[in-house]
Amino acid sequence: MKIYFPMLVVLFLMTPLSPVLSQTITYADLMGSSSLQSPVDDSAFARPHDAEGALHRFQGRLKIDIASTTNSGMEVWHKYLPDDPFGNFHPLPGFDFEFIQDGSHLIPVRRGLISTTHPLWDYFIGPGRVWSNKNDRGYSRAAFPFALVSRSVKCAHNGVMTFLYNDQEVSQVQYQVTQETCHFWKFDLWGRLSASYHPQQIADAKMLKANYKQELANRLPVKPYADFAKDFPKANLEAFSEGQPLEHLSTQGIYYRGVHYTDHCGTRYGKYAFCDSMMLTSFSTAKTAFPGVALMALAQDYGLSVLEQKIGDYLPETKNSPGDWSQVTFNHVVDMSSGNYDMEIPMADRPPGNFYEDSTHDQKLASALSWPHKSTPGSVFVYQTADTYILVTALTEYLKSKQAPVTDIFNYVLEKVYRPAKLPPDALFSARTHENGQINNGMPIGGYGQWWTKDAIVKLAKLLLTDGGKIGGKQVLHPQVLSDTMQQNPKDRGVDMKFYGWWYNNAAWAYPVRRLEADLSCDAWVVAMSGVSGIRVLMMPNGLIYYYFNDSEQYPFAGAIREAHQVESFCP
Protein backbone atom coordinates (compact mmCIF):
# COMPACT_ATOMS: atom_id res chain seq x y z
CA MET A 1 0.00 0.00 0.00
CA LYS A 2 1.37 3.40 -0.94
CA ILE A 3 0.65 6.25 1.45
CA TYR A 4 2.18 9.55 0.39
CA PHE A 5 2.93 12.40 2.75
CA PRO A 6 0.64 15.10 1.31
CA MET A 7 2.71 18.23 1.99
CA LEU A 8 1.29 19.84 -1.14
CA VAL A 9 -2.27 18.63 -0.99
CA VAL A 10 -4.86 21.05 0.32
CA LEU A 11 -7.48 18.83 1.92
CA PHE A 12 -9.28 21.13 4.34
CA LEU A 13 -12.52 19.85 5.75
CA MET A 14 -14.44 21.41 8.61
CA THR A 15 -14.65 18.41 10.88
CA PRO A 16 -18.05 18.05 12.55
CA LEU A 17 -17.68 17.60 16.26
CA SER A 18 -19.16 14.50 17.84
CA PRO A 19 -21.61 15.11 20.66
CA VAL A 20 -19.73 15.23 23.93
CA LEU A 21 -21.35 12.74 26.28
CA SER A 22 -21.28 13.00 30.04
CA GLN A 23 -20.68 9.34 30.70
CA THR A 24 -18.66 7.27 33.13
CA ILE A 25 -17.17 3.85 32.50
CA THR A 26 -18.71 1.46 35.03
CA TYR A 27 -17.74 -1.86 36.53
CA ALA A 28 -20.50 -3.46 34.46
CA ASP A 29 -19.10 -1.91 31.27
CA LEU A 30 -15.62 -3.32 31.84
CA MET A 31 -16.72 -6.71 33.15
CA GLY A 32 -19.75 -7.33 30.95
CA SER A 33 -20.80 -7.22 27.31
CA SER A 34 -22.80 -4.02 27.11
CA SER A 35 -22.91 -2.22 23.77
CA LEU A 36 -20.37 0.51 23.03
CA GLN A 37 -21.71 2.65 20.21
CA SER A 38 -19.21 5.52 20.26
CA PRO A 39 -16.41 7.06 22.27
CA VAL A 40 -17.31 8.54 25.64
CA ASP A 41 -16.37 11.87 27.15
CA ASP A 42 -12.63 11.77 27.74
CA SER A 43 -13.12 12.81 31.37
CA ALA A 44 -14.25 9.24 32.05
CA PHE A 45 -10.59 8.20 31.76
CA ALA A 46 -9.29 10.81 34.19
CA ARG A 47 -8.50 10.12 37.84
CA PRO A 48 -11.09 12.05 39.89
CA HIS A 49 -9.68 14.76 42.15
CA ASP A 50 -11.28 13.12 45.18
CA ALA A 51 -10.38 9.56 44.21
CA GLU A 52 -9.28 7.05 46.83
CA GLY A 53 -5.93 5.33 46.52
CA ALA A 54 -5.58 2.09 44.57
CA LEU A 55 -6.35 -1.07 46.57
CA HIS A 56 -3.75 -3.16 44.74
CA ARG A 57 -0.24 -2.79 43.33
CA PHE A 58 0.16 -3.32 39.59
CA GLN A 59 3.55 -4.63 38.51
CA GLY A 60 3.89 -6.83 35.47
CA ARG A 61 2.64 -7.33 31.91
CA LEU A 62 -0.65 -6.14 30.50
CA LYS A 63 -1.44 -8.20 27.42
CA ILE A 64 -4.43 -7.27 25.30
CA ASP A 65 -6.10 -9.81 23.02
CA ILE A 66 -6.39 -7.65 19.92
CA ALA A 67 -8.46 -10.27 18.08
CA SER A 68 -11.06 -10.46 20.85
CA THR A 69 -13.04 -7.35 20.05
CA THR A 70 -16.73 -7.72 19.38
CA ASN A 71 -17.61 -4.25 20.50
CA SER A 72 -15.68 -1.63 18.59
CA GLY A 73 -16.06 0.99 15.92
CA MET A 74 -14.37 3.54 13.72
CA GLU A 75 -15.61 6.82 12.34
CA VAL A 76 -13.52 8.58 9.71
CA TRP A 77 -13.90 12.33 9.52
CA HIS A 78 -11.35 12.97 6.81
CA LYS A 79 -8.76 10.84 5.08
CA TYR A 80 -6.10 10.79 2.42
CA LEU A 81 -5.92 7.04 2.30
CA PRO A 82 -7.42 4.08 0.44
CA ASP A 83 -11.06 3.30 1.20
CA ASP A 84 -10.20 0.29 3.34
CA PRO A 85 -6.83 1.03 4.98
CA PHE A 86 -7.12 -1.76 7.55
CA GLY A 87 -8.02 -4.66 5.29
CA ASN A 88 -8.39 -7.84 7.30
CA PHE A 89 -6.33 -6.85 10.34
CA HIS A 90 -7.25 -5.03 13.54
CA PRO A 91 -6.63 -1.28 13.67
CA LEU A 92 -4.58 -1.63 16.89
CA PRO A 93 -1.13 -3.24 16.87
CA GLY A 94 -0.43 -6.08 19.26
CA PHE A 95 -0.23 -4.90 22.86
CA ASP A 96 1.97 -6.67 25.43
CA PHE A 97 3.79 -4.20 27.70
CA GLU A 98 5.12 -3.99 31.22
CA PHE A 99 4.02 -1.41 33.80
CA ILE A 100 4.95 -0.57 37.36
CA GLN A 101 2.90 1.33 39.91
CA ASP A 102 4.33 4.06 42.13
CA GLY A 103 1.75 5.63 44.40
CA SER A 104 -1.02 6.85 42.14
CA HIS A 105 1.15 6.67 39.01
CA LEU A 106 1.25 3.84 36.45
CA ILE A 107 4.57 3.91 34.63
CA PRO A 108 5.20 2.02 31.37
CA VAL A 109 8.58 0.31 31.32
CA ARG A 110 9.09 1.16 27.63
CA ARG A 111 8.85 4.82 26.67
CA GLY A 112 9.11 6.63 23.39
CA LEU A 113 8.50 5.37 19.86
CA ILE A 114 7.81 1.63 19.89
CA SER A 115 8.02 -0.05 16.50
CA THR A 116 5.53 -2.85 15.85
CA THR A 117 4.87 -5.48 13.21
CA HIS A 118 1.58 -3.80 12.27
CA PRO A 119 1.59 -2.54 8.65
CA LEU A 120 0.28 0.92 9.61
CA TRP A 121 0.99 1.80 13.23
CA ASP A 122 3.67 2.21 15.84
CA TYR A 123 3.01 3.08 19.50
CA PHE A 124 3.72 5.61 22.17
CA ILE A 125 2.66 4.43 25.66
CA GLY A 126 2.48 7.19 28.28
CA PRO A 127 2.40 7.30 32.09
CA GLY A 128 -1.07 6.90 33.60
CA ARG A 129 -2.84 6.93 36.95
CA VAL A 130 -4.42 4.41 39.32
CA TRP A 131 -7.18 4.81 41.92
CA SER A 132 -10.21 3.11 43.41
CA ASN A 133 -13.94 3.73 43.11
CA LYS A 134 -16.43 2.52 45.69
CA ASN A 135 -18.59 0.95 42.95
CA ASP A 136 -15.79 -1.18 41.48
CA ARG A 137 -16.44 -4.11 43.85
CA GLY A 138 -13.01 -4.31 45.38
CA TYR A 139 -11.02 -3.80 42.17
CA SER A 140 -8.61 -0.96 41.51
CA ARG A 141 -8.83 1.13 38.36
CA ALA A 142 -6.10 2.25 35.94
CA ALA A 143 -5.97 4.53 32.92
CA PHE A 144 -3.12 5.62 30.69
CA PRO A 145 -2.55 7.52 27.44
CA PHE A 146 -1.26 6.04 24.22
CA ALA A 147 -0.78 7.24 20.67
CA LEU A 148 -0.91 5.45 17.34
CA VAL A 149 1.82 6.77 15.04
CA SER A 150 1.21 6.29 11.33
CA ARG A 151 4.15 4.51 9.78
CA SER A 152 4.45 6.71 6.67
CA VAL A 153 3.11 10.17 7.51
CA LYS A 154 4.18 10.08 11.20
CA CYS A 155 0.95 11.57 12.59
CA ALA A 156 0.30 10.87 16.26
CA HIS A 157 -3.33 9.90 16.95
CA ASN A 158 -3.87 10.24 20.69
CA GLY A 159 -5.98 7.86 22.73
CA VAL A 160 -6.60 6.47 26.21
CA MET A 161 -7.10 3.04 27.77
CA THR A 162 -8.67 2.01 31.07
CA PHE A 163 -9.23 -1.24 32.97
CA LEU A 164 -9.93 -2.70 36.43
CA TYR A 165 -7.38 -4.87 38.20
CA ASN A 166 -6.61 -6.77 41.37
CA ASP A 167 -3.58 -8.84 42.31
CA GLN A 168 -4.26 -11.59 39.75
CA GLU A 169 -6.47 -10.38 36.92
CA VAL A 170 -7.77 -7.48 34.89
CA SER A 171 -11.09 -6.60 33.30
CA GLN A 172 -11.59 -5.85 29.66
CA VAL A 173 -9.66 -2.84 28.41
CA GLN A 174 -11.74 0.01 27.04
CA TYR A 175 -9.94 2.28 24.59
CA GLN A 176 -10.62 5.22 22.32
CA VAL A 177 -8.66 7.41 19.91
CA THR A 178 -10.27 10.81 19.34
CA GLN A 179 -7.52 13.35 18.59
CA GLU A 180 -4.69 14.12 16.20
CA THR A 181 -2.77 17.00 14.65
CA CYS A 182 -3.08 15.65 11.14
CA HIS A 183 -5.38 17.47 8.75
CA PHE A 184 -5.27 14.74 6.12
CA TRP A 185 -6.35 11.81 8.29
CA LYS A 186 -8.88 12.31 11.09
CA PHE A 187 -10.75 9.48 12.71
CA ASP A 188 -12.21 8.12 15.95
CA LEU A 189 -11.52 4.55 17.11
CA TRP A 190 -13.11 2.87 20.12
CA GLY A 191 -13.72 -0.54 21.60
CA ARG A 192 -13.36 -3.03 24.41
CA LEU A 193 -10.87 -5.89 24.30
CA SER A 194 -10.13 -8.89 26.49
CA ALA A 195 -6.88 -8.64 28.41
CA SER A 196 -4.70 -10.60 30.80
CA TYR A 197 -2.42 -9.57 33.66
CA HIS A 198 0.86 -11.34 34.32
CA PRO A 199 2.22 -10.16 37.68
CA GLN A 200 6.00 -10.24 37.84
CA GLN A 201 8.95 -8.39 39.27
CA ILE A 202 10.25 -5.68 36.95
CA ALA A 203 14.00 -5.31 36.58
CA ASP A 204 15.25 -1.84 37.54
CA ALA A 205 11.85 -0.94 39.02
CA LYS A 206 13.51 1.32 41.59
CA MET A 207 15.41 3.19 38.88
CA LEU A 208 12.31 3.51 36.68
CA LYS A 209 10.38 5.07 39.55
CA ALA A 210 13.21 7.45 40.36
CA ASN A 211 13.52 8.46 36.70
CA TYR A 212 9.82 9.22 36.47
CA LYS A 213 9.90 11.33 39.62
CA GLN A 214 12.80 13.26 38.13
CA GLU A 215 10.91 13.67 34.86
CA LEU A 216 8.03 15.29 36.72
CA ALA A 217 10.43 17.49 38.70
CA ASN A 218 12.13 18.61 35.46
CA ARG A 219 8.95 20.06 33.98
CA LEU A 220 8.82 23.82 33.63
CA PRO A 221 6.74 25.66 36.24
CA VAL A 222 3.14 25.71 35.00
CA LYS A 223 -0.03 27.68 35.57
CA PRO A 224 -3.41 27.46 33.86
CA TYR A 225 -3.54 29.30 30.54
CA ALA A 226 -6.23 31.66 31.84
CA ASP A 227 -3.89 32.82 34.63
CA PHE A 228 -1.73 34.66 32.11
CA ALA A 229 -4.40 37.38 31.89
CA LYS A 230 -4.49 37.55 35.70
CA ASP A 231 -0.71 37.87 36.02
CA PHE A 232 -0.46 40.34 33.13
CA PRO A 233 -3.66 42.42 33.06
CA LYS A 234 -2.64 44.09 29.79
CA ALA A 235 -2.97 40.74 28.04
CA ASN A 236 -6.00 39.79 25.98
CA LEU A 237 -5.92 36.03 25.55
CA GLU A 238 -8.56 36.15 22.83
CA ALA A 239 -6.22 38.36 20.81
CA PHE A 240 -3.46 35.74 21.08
CA SER A 241 -5.74 33.15 19.50
CA GLU A 242 -7.22 35.54 16.92
CA GLY A 243 -8.02 33.51 13.82
CA GLN A 244 -7.45 30.25 15.67
CA PRO A 245 -10.04 27.58 14.73
CA LEU A 246 -10.66 26.48 18.31
CA GLU A 247 -12.75 23.47 17.28
CA HIS A 248 -9.64 22.05 15.60
CA LEU A 249 -7.15 23.08 18.28
CA SER A 250 -5.07 20.37 19.93
CA THR A 251 -3.56 22.78 22.45
CA GLN A 252 -1.94 26.18 22.90
CA GLY A 253 0.20 27.87 25.51
CA ILE A 254 2.39 30.81 26.50
CA TYR A 255 5.80 30.80 28.14
CA TYR A 256 6.84 34.07 29.71
CA ARG A 257 9.13 35.12 32.56
CA GLY A 258 9.81 31.59 33.70
CA VAL A 259 6.24 30.27 33.70
CA HIS A 260 4.52 27.96 31.22
CA TYR A 261 0.87 29.00 30.97
CA THR A 262 -0.71 25.94 29.45
CA ASP A 263 -4.19 25.34 28.09
CA HIS A 264 -6.12 22.07 28.10
CA CYS A 265 -5.82 19.60 25.22
CA GLY A 266 -8.89 19.21 23.04
CA THR A 267 -10.41 16.10 21.50
CA ARG A 268 -13.67 15.48 19.64
CA TYR A 269 -15.02 14.14 22.94
CA GLY A 270 -14.02 16.71 25.54
CA LYS A 271 -10.72 17.50 27.22
CA TYR A 272 -7.93 14.96 26.90
CA ALA A 273 -7.40 13.20 30.22
CA PHE A 274 -3.58 13.20 29.98
CA CYS A 275 -2.75 16.57 28.48
CA ASP A 276 0.85 16.68 29.71
CA SER A 277 1.52 13.43 27.87
CA MET A 278 -0.31 14.22 24.62
CA MET A 279 2.02 13.47 21.70
CA LEU A 280 2.04 16.46 19.36
CA THR A 281 3.10 15.70 15.79
CA SER A 282 6.12 17.81 14.89
CA PHE A 283 5.94 17.90 11.10
CA SER A 284 8.34 20.63 9.97
CA THR A 285 9.04 22.03 13.42
CA ALA A 286 11.53 19.16 13.34
CA LYS A 287 13.57 21.04 10.73
CA THR A 288 14.35 23.77 13.24
CA ALA A 289 14.62 21.56 16.30
CA PHE A 290 16.81 18.88 14.75
CA PRO A 291 18.99 19.79 11.72
CA GLY A 292 18.84 23.52 12.52
CA VAL A 293 19.92 22.90 16.10
CA ALA A 294 22.45 20.30 14.91
CA LEU A 295 24.32 22.88 12.84
CA MET A 296 24.44 25.28 15.80
CA ALA A 297 25.85 22.52 18.00
CA LEU A 298 28.35 21.40 15.35
CA ALA A 299 29.54 24.98 14.93
CA GLN A 300 30.12 25.18 18.68
CA ASP A 301 32.16 21.96 18.64
CA TYR A 302 34.00 22.29 15.32
CA GLY A 303 33.87 25.97 14.35
CA LEU A 304 31.94 28.11 11.91
CA SER A 305 33.56 26.40 8.92
CA VAL A 306 31.00 23.59 9.27
CA LEU A 307 28.38 25.82 7.64
CA GLU A 308 30.49 26.17 4.49
CA GLN A 309 31.13 22.46 4.02
CA LYS A 310 29.93 21.28 0.61
CA ILE A 311 27.31 18.57 0.27
CA GLY A 312 29.11 17.00 -2.68
CA ASP A 313 32.26 16.45 -0.63
CA TYR A 314 30.39 14.16 1.77
CA LEU A 315 27.85 12.42 -0.46
CA PRO A 316 29.38 10.65 -3.48
CA GLU A 317 25.80 9.80 -4.54
CA THR A 318 25.41 13.42 -5.71
CA LYS A 319 27.64 12.74 -8.70
CA ASN A 320 24.83 10.69 -10.26
CA SER A 321 22.19 13.32 -9.50
CA PRO A 322 20.67 15.51 -12.24
CA GLY A 323 21.26 18.38 -9.82
CA ASP A 324 24.56 20.12 -9.12
CA TRP A 325 25.65 19.69 -5.49
CA SER A 326 29.32 20.51 -5.92
CA GLN A 327 28.98 24.11 -4.65
CA VAL A 328 25.98 23.64 -2.36
CA THR A 329 26.95 24.18 1.29
CA PHE A 330 25.33 22.95 4.47
CA ASN A 331 24.22 26.55 5.02
CA HIS A 332 22.53 26.73 1.62
CA VAL A 333 20.50 23.61 2.36
CA VAL A 334 19.48 24.60 5.88
CA ASP A 335 18.26 27.89 4.29
CA MET A 336 16.25 25.92 1.66
CA SER A 337 18.24 27.43 -1.20
CA SER A 338 20.13 24.49 -2.72
CA GLY A 339 19.33 25.59 -6.29
CA ASN A 340 18.15 22.07 -7.16
CA TYR A 341 14.40 21.82 -7.78
CA ASP A 342 11.94 21.38 -10.62
CA MET A 343 9.54 24.31 -10.05
CA GLU A 344 10.32 27.74 -8.64
CA ILE A 345 7.39 27.79 -6.22
CA PRO A 346 8.46 28.93 -2.72
CA MET A 347 6.36 26.49 -0.69
CA ALA A 348 6.02 23.75 -3.30
CA ASP A 349 7.69 20.95 -1.30
CA ARG A 350 7.03 18.58 -4.17
CA PRO A 351 7.70 14.94 -3.21
CA PRO A 352 10.48 13.68 -5.49
CA GLY A 353 9.97 10.11 -6.61
CA ASN A 354 8.92 7.83 -3.76
CA PHE A 355 10.53 9.97 -1.06
CA TYR A 356 7.58 9.82 1.37
CA GLU A 357 7.13 6.07 1.21
CA ASP A 358 8.56 3.72 3.79
CA SER A 359 11.96 2.92 2.37
CA THR A 360 15.62 2.23 2.96
CA HIS A 361 18.17 5.00 3.19
CA ASP A 362 19.51 4.32 -0.31
CA GLN A 363 16.00 4.55 -1.78
CA LYS A 364 15.11 7.71 0.10
CA LEU A 365 18.39 9.46 -0.72
CA ALA A 366 18.07 8.55 -4.42
CA SER A 367 14.59 10.09 -4.47
CA ALA A 368 15.78 13.22 -2.66
CA LEU A 369 18.58 13.72 -5.19
CA SER A 370 16.32 13.44 -8.23
CA TRP A 371 15.69 17.15 -8.88
CA PRO A 372 17.65 19.03 -11.59
CA HIS A 373 19.85 22.09 -11.12
CA LYS A 374 17.96 25.38 -11.62
CA SER A 375 19.70 28.32 -9.89
CA THR A 376 22.81 29.49 -8.08
CA PRO A 377 22.95 28.08 -4.54
CA GLY A 378 21.77 30.61 -1.98
CA SER A 379 19.80 32.72 -4.44
CA VAL A 380 16.29 31.21 -4.58
CA PHE A 381 14.15 29.84 -1.74
CA VAL A 382 12.29 26.63 -2.57
CA TYR A 383 11.01 24.70 0.45
CA GLN A 384 11.87 21.01 0.09
CA THR A 385 11.71 18.47 2.89
CA ALA A 386 13.76 16.10 0.76
CA ASP A 387 16.67 18.57 0.88
CA THR A 388 16.60 18.32 4.67
CA TYR A 389 17.14 14.58 4.38
CA ILE A 390 20.15 15.23 2.17
CA LEU A 391 21.51 17.60 4.82
CA VAL A 392 20.95 15.10 7.66
CA THR A 393 22.82 12.45 5.69
CA ALA A 394 25.70 14.83 4.98
CA LEU A 395 25.91 15.89 8.65
CA THR A 396 26.23 12.23 9.64
CA GLU A 397 29.07 11.82 7.15
CA TYR A 398 30.69 15.00 8.51
CA LEU A 399 30.69 13.53 12.03
CA LYS A 400 32.28 10.35 10.68
CA SER A 401 35.00 12.40 9.00
CA LYS A 402 35.76 14.00 12.37
CA GLN A 403 35.89 10.57 14.03
CA ALA A 404 33.42 11.95 16.53
CA PRO A 405 32.43 9.78 19.52
CA VAL A 406 28.84 9.88 18.23
CA THR A 407 28.47 9.71 14.45
CA ASP A 408 24.69 9.45 14.10
CA ILE A 409 23.55 13.08 13.79
CA PHE A 410 20.30 12.60 15.71
CA ASN A 411 22.09 10.83 18.56
CA TYR A 412 24.61 13.66 18.52
CA VAL A 413 21.83 16.22 19.06
CA LEU A 414 20.31 13.91 21.65
CA GLU A 415 23.50 13.85 23.73
CA LYS A 416 24.56 17.46 23.15
CA VAL A 417 21.20 19.21 23.46
CA TYR A 418 17.99 17.25 24.10
CA ARG A 419 19.05 15.25 27.15
CA PRO A 420 20.97 18.12 28.82
CA ALA A 421 17.93 20.36 28.20
CA LYS A 422 15.85 17.74 30.11
CA LEU A 423 13.40 17.02 27.34
CA PRO A 424 10.96 14.33 28.47
CA PRO A 425 11.75 10.78 27.29
CA ASP A 426 8.93 10.58 24.74
CA ALA A 427 10.46 13.49 22.81
CA LEU A 428 13.86 11.80 22.40
CA PHE A 429 13.04 9.87 19.23
CA SER A 430 13.20 10.37 15.49
CA ALA A 431 11.57 8.39 12.73
CA ARG A 432 14.20 6.63 10.63
CA THR A 433 14.53 4.70 7.43
CA HIS A 434 13.92 0.94 7.50
CA GLU A 435 16.98 -1.22 6.95
CA ASN A 436 17.35 -5.00 6.59
CA GLY A 437 13.67 -5.60 7.20
CA GLN A 438 13.66 -3.69 10.50
CA ILE A 439 11.55 -0.62 11.31
CA ASN A 440 13.01 2.78 12.27
CA ASN A 441 16.60 1.57 12.54
CA GLY A 442 18.34 3.54 9.79
CA MET A 443 19.02 7.19 8.96
CA PRO A 444 16.96 9.79 10.87
CA ILE A 445 14.60 11.60 8.51
CA GLY A 446 15.11 15.14 9.80
CA GLY A 447 12.44 17.14 8.02
CA TYR A 448 9.56 15.53 9.93
CA GLY A 449 9.07 12.46 12.09
CA GLN A 450 9.46 13.74 15.63
CA TRP A 451 6.90 14.22 18.39
CA TRP A 452 6.64 16.77 21.17
CA THR A 453 4.95 17.15 24.47
CA LYS A 454 4.07 20.70 25.45
CA ASP A 455 6.94 20.78 27.93
CA ALA A 456 9.39 19.57 25.28
CA ILE A 457 8.57 22.14 22.61
CA VAL A 458 8.68 25.02 25.11
CA LYS A 459 12.07 23.90 26.42
CA LEU A 460 13.48 23.88 22.88
CA ALA A 461 12.06 27.32 22.09
CA LYS A 462 13.32 28.65 25.42
CA LEU A 463 16.84 27.38 24.64
CA LEU A 464 16.83 29.35 21.39
CA LEU A 465 15.05 32.50 22.55
CA THR A 466 15.90 33.28 26.17
CA ASP A 467 18.74 30.95 27.18
CA GLY A 468 21.20 32.04 24.49
CA GLY A 469 22.00 28.45 23.57
CA LYS A 470 23.30 27.68 27.08
CA ILE A 471 22.31 24.74 29.26
CA GLY A 472 23.35 24.87 32.89
CA GLY A 473 25.72 27.72 32.09
CA LYS A 474 27.44 25.76 29.29
CA GLN A 475 27.32 27.08 25.73
CA VAL A 476 26.00 24.22 23.56
CA LEU A 477 24.84 26.22 20.50
CA HIS A 478 27.25 28.55 18.71
CA PRO A 479 26.29 32.09 19.76
CA GLN A 480 26.84 33.64 16.32
CA VAL A 481 24.83 31.00 14.45
CA LEU A 482 22.11 31.26 17.07
CA SER A 483 22.13 35.05 16.80
CA ASP A 484 21.74 34.81 13.03
CA THR A 485 18.93 32.27 13.41
CA MET A 486 17.08 34.50 15.88
CA GLN A 487 17.38 37.52 13.52
CA GLN A 488 19.67 39.45 15.87
CA ASN A 489 22.19 40.07 13.08
CA PRO A 490 20.87 42.48 10.42
CA LYS A 491 23.67 41.36 8.07
CA ASP A 492 22.28 37.83 7.89
CA ARG A 493 18.50 37.57 7.48
CA GLY A 494 18.68 34.31 5.56
CA VAL A 495 16.63 33.96 2.36
CA ASP A 496 13.45 35.79 1.41
CA MET A 497 10.73 33.14 1.23
CA LYS A 498 8.55 35.40 -0.94
CA PHE A 499 5.68 33.96 1.08
CA TYR A 500 3.53 36.50 2.94
CA GLY A 501 6.56 38.45 4.11
CA TRP A 502 8.40 35.59 5.83
CA TRP A 503 12.15 34.91 5.67
CA TYR A 504 14.01 31.66 6.37
CA ASN A 505 17.34 31.33 8.14
CA ASN A 506 18.96 28.17 9.50
CA ALA A 507 15.68 26.23 9.32
CA ALA A 508 13.73 28.89 11.23
CA TRP A 509 10.97 31.12 9.91
CA ALA A 510 11.22 34.86 10.59
CA TYR A 511 8.78 37.75 10.25
CA PRO A 512 9.61 41.50 10.35
CA VAL A 513 7.20 43.07 12.82
CA ARG A 514 7.19 46.36 10.88
CA ARG A 515 4.97 44.65 8.31
CA LEU A 516 2.31 44.69 11.03
CA GLU A 517 3.35 47.79 12.97
CA ALA A 518 4.72 50.32 10.51
CA ASP A 519 5.60 52.88 13.22
CA LEU A 520 7.63 50.43 15.31
CA SER A 521 10.69 52.25 16.69
CA CYS A 522 13.05 49.26 16.27
CA ASP A 523 13.77 46.56 13.72
CA ALA A 524 12.10 43.70 15.61
CA TRP A 525 11.64 40.21 14.17
CA VAL A 526 9.57 37.27 15.36
CA VAL A 527 11.14 33.85 14.78
CA ALA A 528 9.04 30.71 14.44
CA MET A 529 9.09 26.97 14.18
CA SER A 530 6.30 25.93 11.85
CA GLY A 531 4.67 22.72 10.69
CA VAL A 532 1.99 21.63 8.25
CA SER A 533 -1.58 21.04 9.45
CA GLY A 534 -1.52 24.18 11.61
CA ILE A 535 1.50 24.34 13.92
CA ARG A 536 3.35 27.46 15.02
CA VAL A 537 5.81 28.16 17.82
CA LEU A 538 6.25 31.94 17.83
CA MET A 539 9.35 33.25 19.60
CA MET A 540 8.87 36.94 20.31
CA PRO A 541 11.78 39.41 20.73
CA ASN A 542 10.57 40.28 24.26
CA GLY A 543 11.11 36.69 25.43
CA LEU A 544 7.49 35.55 25.14
CA ILE A 545 6.74 32.22 23.45
CA TYR A 546 3.27 31.48 22.08
CA TYR A 547 2.56 28.09 20.52
CA TYR A 548 -0.39 26.22 19.10
CA PHE A 549 -1.08 22.90 17.39
CA ASN A 550 -4.19 22.61 15.24
CA ASP A 551 -5.21 20.46 12.27
CA SER A 552 -7.21 22.95 10.20
CA GLU A 553 -4.36 24.18 7.93
CA GLN A 554 -4.77 27.61 9.50
CA TYR A 555 -1.63 29.45 10.68
CA PRO A 556 -2.68 32.71 12.37
CA PHE A 557 0.12 34.83 13.79
CA ALA A 558 -0.67 38.56 13.48
CA GLY A 559 -2.93 38.72 16.54
CA ALA A 560 -0.45 36.90 18.74
CA ILE A 561 2.44 39.13 17.63
CA ARG A 562 0.50 42.33 18.23
CA GLU A 563 -0.70 41.14 21.64
CA ALA A 564 2.76 40.01 22.74
CA HIS A 565 4.03 43.50 21.87
CA GLN A 566 1.26 44.96 24.06
CA VAL A 567 2.30 42.80 27.01
CA GLU A 568 5.88 44.07 26.76
CA SER A 569 7.25 46.30 24.02
CA PHE A 570 9.50 44.64 21.47
CA CYS A 571 11.60 47.80 21.47
CA PRO A 572 13.73 48.40 24.59
Assess whether 421 and 486 both reside in one domain. no
Assess whether 488 and 393 both reside in one domain. no
Tally the domains of the chain.
Answer: 3
Is 247 among the domain residues? yes
Assess whether 93 and 184 both reside in one domain. yes
Is 3 among the domain residues? no
CATH of the domain at 359: 3.40.710.10
Is 6 among the domain residues? no
Burial group, residue 203, by CB count within 10 angstroms (0-12, 13-18, 19+): exposed
Q: What distance in Å separates the CA atoms of residue 511 and residue 79, rounded to the nearest whole number?
A: 33
Q: Which of 191, 215, 239 is the last residue of a domain?
A: 215
How would you label 412-426 residue by residue, b for 16+ Cβ within 10 Å and e otherwise? bbbebbbeebbbbbb
Q: Which of 429, 449, 469 is the last residue of a domain?
A: 449
Q: Mind listing the pLDDT tens digit of every residue in the chain (572 residues)?
A: 233 223 322 222 333 344 333 458 999 999 998 889 999 999 999 999 989 999 999 999 999 999 886 667 888 776 555 444 555 557 899 999 999 999 999 999 999 999 999 988 999 999 999 999 999 999 999 999 999 999 888 999 999 999 999 999 999 999 999 999 999 889 999 999 999 999 999 999 999 999 999 999 999 999 999 999 999 999 999 999 999 999 999 999 999 999 999 999 999 999 999 999 999 999 999 999 999 999 999 999 999 999 999 999 999 999 999 999 999 999 999 999 999 999 999 999 988 988 988 789 999 999 999 999 999 999 999 999 999 999 999 999 999 999 999 999 999 999 999 999 999 999 999 999 999 989 999 999 999 999 999 999 999 999 999 999 999 999 999 999 999 999 999 999 999 999 999 999 999 999 999 999 999 999 999 999 999 999 999 999 999 999 999 999 999 999 999 999 999 999 98
Is 293 among the domain residues? yes
Q: What distance in Å separates the CA atoms of residue 447 and residue 384, rounded to the nearest whole number?
A: 9
Is 15 among the domain residues? no
pTM value > 0.85? yes
Assess whether 253 and 189 both reside in one domain. no
In this predicted structure, what is the pLDDT of residue 71?
A: 67
Assess whether 444 and 504 both reside in one domain. no
In this predicted structure, what is the pLDDT of residue 14?
A: 32
Report phi then psi at 136, rounded to 5. Answer: -95, 15
Structural domain harbouring 289:
285-449
Is 11 among the domain residues? no
Q: Which of 449, 472, 500 is the last residue of a domain?
A: 449
Assess whether 320 and 465 both reside in one domain. no
Is 229 among the domain residues? yes
Assess whether 201 and 71 both reside in one domain. yes
